[in-house]
Amino acid sequence: MTKNNSRRDFLKSTALSAGGLILGFNWFGQEASAATVVKEMANEAGGTAFNAFLSIQTNGIVTIFSPNPEIGQGIKTAFPIIVAEELDVDWVNVKVVQAPLDTKKFERQVAGGSGSIPHSWQRLRKAGATARQMLIEAAAKRWGVSTSECSTEKSFVVHTASGKKVGYGELATEAAKLTPPTDVKLKDKKDFKLIGSTVKGVDNHGVLTGKPLFGLDFYREGMKFAMIQRPPAFGMKLKSFDASAAKASASGIEVVSFKDKVAIVGKSTWEVKKARDLVKIEWEKAATLESSDDHNRIFKELLDGKTEIRRKDGDVETAFKDAAKIVEAEYQCPFLPHNPMEPMNFFAHVREDGVELVGPTQTPQNAQNQTAKLLNIPAEKVTVELTKMGGGFGRRLGTDYVLEAAELSSIIKAPVKVMWTREDDMSGGSYRPAVRYRFRAALDKQGNMIGYTLRGAGINAGNSTRQDNFPAGAVPNLLIDSAEHKSPITTGPWRAPITNFLAFAEQSFIDEVATAAGKDAVQFRLELLEKAKTAPTGEIKYNIDRMKAVIELAAEKSGWGKKKKGVSLGFSVYFSHASYVAQVAEVVMKKGKPVLQKIYAAVDCGVVVNQSGARNQVMGGIVDGIGHAMYGNMTFRDGTPDQKNFNAFRLIKMNEIPAIEVSFVDNGIDPTGLGEPALPPTGGSVANAIFKATGKRLRNQPFIEEDQKLFESVS
Amino acid sequence: MANYNLKINGKTLKTEASPDTPLLWVLRDNLGLVGTKYGCGMAQCGACTVHINGEATRSCVLPVSAVADATITTIEGLSEKGDHPVQKAWDAIDVPQCGYCQAGQIMTAAAFLKKNAKPNLEEIEAAMAGNICRCGTYHRIKEAVQLAASQMQK
């Protein structure tokens, strides 16, 4: 196979230490030339492999390779749908196979940033369309007719004039020998049949019958089991350990140490777990052991101290001096663990001739490169097989747990699966950073917002603002700045990094400003958008019309502005990860307590690839958003999290969800991702509705702890 | 270590384990029945739910010694072809996102519907409240339980 650098995935940065760096990636590598891909693959696999994305067997079964990691976002179903649409294959003839990491064939094998669909949309279409055109050509040749007289329909090439038809399987061998066309015609979007329909998850059967699909389900003959004892607090390091009792507890127990960790290796999960409890370890302080009280003090210092300016428009000082009214508020959120249901785990086998990695990772290429670096070998010597993942939420963008497995395997010279218990997973770091925001808004006599400032203070949050977010562009005088405290507590991207909390703060504060201005929440936002359109200030990085459209759709669906007896409505709208989502939350009072009854979501992600998958993502994102806004809390004492398992960390349950009604904007724009965008607006719509219902403005998450009395009977 | 002849999914499976080993790990590590999942290890999330003598039970805190004579059903044995009404309903509604918790959800639902063939919504919510789905597929789970109940009545 020839190397074609134009098709390589260009990862400009592999640093993922703190929140927000996810955006530092250049995930959008140069576009593949479909023709080159097809030819190379045809040469390589002989006959039936049309290109990197699909192969057609003589029995008509089309195998579509899905390169991107599946974490529950439904990419393993959505990608093949796009290929199959352009190929015009009957979906029942499609078999989907998870491709391993292959940097020569695929680009951006990453699950993150809601970026898979927008990145691959055209590539996947071209892959399908190219193969389809070759099948037509093969049939036309066979029949001695022009290709223009032929069409395709559900896995058949059809010659309309004569009524002849031939199946893809029968044509596959001939077609793959043809020179791939350089100019392929893609379908008109209005002719889509599969895209936009309701397609069930391709892994459903395996999931529902308990097949071994996940990383933790991977077993290999001769594989050892391992657990690792990591420092019990952020800021501690290993001093010494005594493994004699552990080693005596079961046959085959090994205990080794690396990088301030103690690894316990054995023949079964339970024996290893019991042995780990018997290792006597002494830890010592290596850095400050921070507590939540320290963070509360640090937030105040950061907000009153030196900051980095992110965006400055106009003259904020004068605007506030001239203001008829000033609104000020602060919002705070805690650290959050990701808590995917499948805890971290990975299989590694470091051999003389190379390294085999198998497991759940959102960034297989990072896993490969960093393992190669760790072991000082070329990246080509490291293979990465992708398992299905029991959730990711950003946690598996980190590679710490992959590298642990590789390092341990290299030390014990054996294949090993490292498993994290829930306690390991929840106390092992890489959390959503804790952040506090300070907002100020200046209103003139007519209630126009003439000044706006936002200052973010974050613990390992990088830039805790998104300075170009709405209402930037709609306010003549604006200042966005941030400050950061570097902490031993590790943080990382958590589903919708930064915006998972920032959106709540921004959309709640806008509500406060609208209330102070005596204006309707929807009208106030629409007026600001109108200003951004007619008299913009500075750069505008969101699409005003698209934002307006979701606002209007959500308002329409929810009956905004019409009185519903006993029902209080809260509004929010957010643009993140290239999609637009507006929400209206309905709260009713039951026994004197606010109860979230329903959420209406209006979503613009362009073309909806799979109705079922898209709705599942939106509803799940909203449930996730409600759960963490209401209940999610992680506090620290001397560097150790207080919550280590689900008995102390409260995740939302079935009896705590409202009804959710999802509406999509039908605008035919190329699709954007949906793994994240539905979550950010949720905290805001809920808090704004609760304010309407109770007069209580919730500014700190989790809500349940800000005002326990308010919610006593909610759960 | 002790020897066990466990009655699982209609078969007798022979295995050796220390008596305190949770059934979950005997299923997964010893018997290759990995459909039953580890989620928390302290009966808080429901991912490890199996049927013990027909009762939905958390296998992560259940020592194998306690089920030496019990009738055990795991997700692999719920139906022969994956066509138990609850499994079929889960597919029809297209419930899963990541799918990791779903075996536990299905086992809880199947045991519940056996006892309560015509549940109302509140009863379904109460029965399923111990099973966490981190992806938030609860709406579809609820719908699938209702669908399965209606199918089972036919």
Copy the structure tokens of residue A119: 């990145």
CA torsion through residues B35, B38, B44, B50, sign: positive
Q: For residue A396, name the pLDDT band (cuts at 50, 70, 90).
A: very high
**Residue type for position A603:** V
Q: Are strands A261-266 and A254-258 parallel, antiparallel or unpaired?
A: antiparallel
Between positions 4 and 63 of B, the ones with CB within 8 A of A are 17-18, 20-22, 25, 28-30, 32-42, 44-45, 47
Domain boundaries, chain A: 7-31, 36-206, 216-286+351-419, 500-711
Q: How far apart are CA A524 and CA A695, in angstroms?
A: 19
The string of pLDDT tens digits covering residues A351-384 is 999 999 999 999 999 999 999 999 999 999 999 9
CA nearest to A53, candidates A114, A125, A111, A112: A125
Q: How far apart are CA A10 and CA A478, in angstroms?
A: 36
The string of pLDDT tens digits covering residues A506-530 is 999 999 999 999 999 999 999 999 9
The counts of H helices and E strands in chain A are 19, 27
pLDDT at residue B20, rounded to an integer: 98
ipTM: 0.98
My answer on whether omega of the bond before A471 falls inside 30° of 0, hence cis, is yes
Which of 3.40.50.2300, 3.30.365.10, 1.25.40.10, 3.30.1360.120 is the CATH number of A36-206? 3.30.365.10
Q: How far apart are CA B84 and CA B74, in angstroms?
A: 13
Q: Strand pairing partners for A225?
A: A266, A417
CB contact, 8 Å: A418 with chain B?
no
The string of pLDDT tens digits covering residues A654-676 is 999 999 999 999 999 999 999 99
Q: For residue B154, name the pLDDT band (cuts at 50, 70, 90).
A: confident
Placement of tokens 């892994």 in the chain: A203
Tell whether domain A216-286+351-419 is in CATH 3.30.700: no
Copy the structure tokens of residue A283: 């830890």
Q: Strand pairing partners for A593?
A: A590
- Chain A residues with CB-CB distance to B103 below 8 A: 207-208, 210
Name which of B20, B44, B134 to mutate to probe chain A: the one with the most chain A Cβ atoms within 10 A of its Cβ. B134
Q: How far apart are CA A551 and CA A390, in angstroms?
A: 34
Phi-psi category of residue A74: left, alpha or beta, with phi > 0 → left and psi -120 to 50 → alpha: left
Answer whether residue A700 shows pLDDT above 70. Answer: yes
A645–B106: do the CB atoms touch at under 8 Å? no
Q: How far apart are CA B30 and CA B10, in angstroms?
A: 17
CB contact, 8 Å: A28 with chain B?
no
The answer to whether domain A36-206 and domain A216-286+351-419 are alike in fold is no
Q: Are strands A355-359 and A345-350 parallel, antiparallel or unpaired?
A: antiparallel
pLDDT at residue A443, rounded to an integer: 98
**Beta carbons of A535 and A473 less than 8 angstroms apart:** no
Q: What number does CATH give the domain A500-711?
A: 3.30.365.10
CB contact, 8 Å: A518 with chain B?
no
Helices (H), A144-237: 168-177, 204-208
B125: closest CA of chain A, how far (Å): 5
B65: closest CA of chain A, how far (Å): 14
Between positions 62 and 81 of B, the ones with CB within 8 A of A are 74-76, 78
My answer on whether omega of the bond before A364 falls inside 30° of 0, hence cis, is no
pLDDT at residue B6, rounded to an integer: 98
Q: How far apart are CA A324 and CA A344, in angstroms?
A: 54
CA nearest to A558, candidates A695, A710, A688, A672: A688
Name which of A207, A611, A652 to mutate to probe chain B: the one with the most chain B Cβ atoms within 10 A of its Cβ. A207
pLDDT at residue A32, rounded to an integer: 35
B98–A627: do the CB atoms touch at under 8 Å? no
Stated pTM of the model? 0.93
A616–B137: do the CB atoms touch at under 8 Å? yes
Q: How far apart are CA B54 and CA B107, in angstroms?
A: 10
Answer whether residue A221 shows pLDDT above 50. Answer: yes
A597: how many CB neighbours lie within 10 A of its CB? 16
Instruction: Specify the DSSP class assigned to residue B28.
Output: I
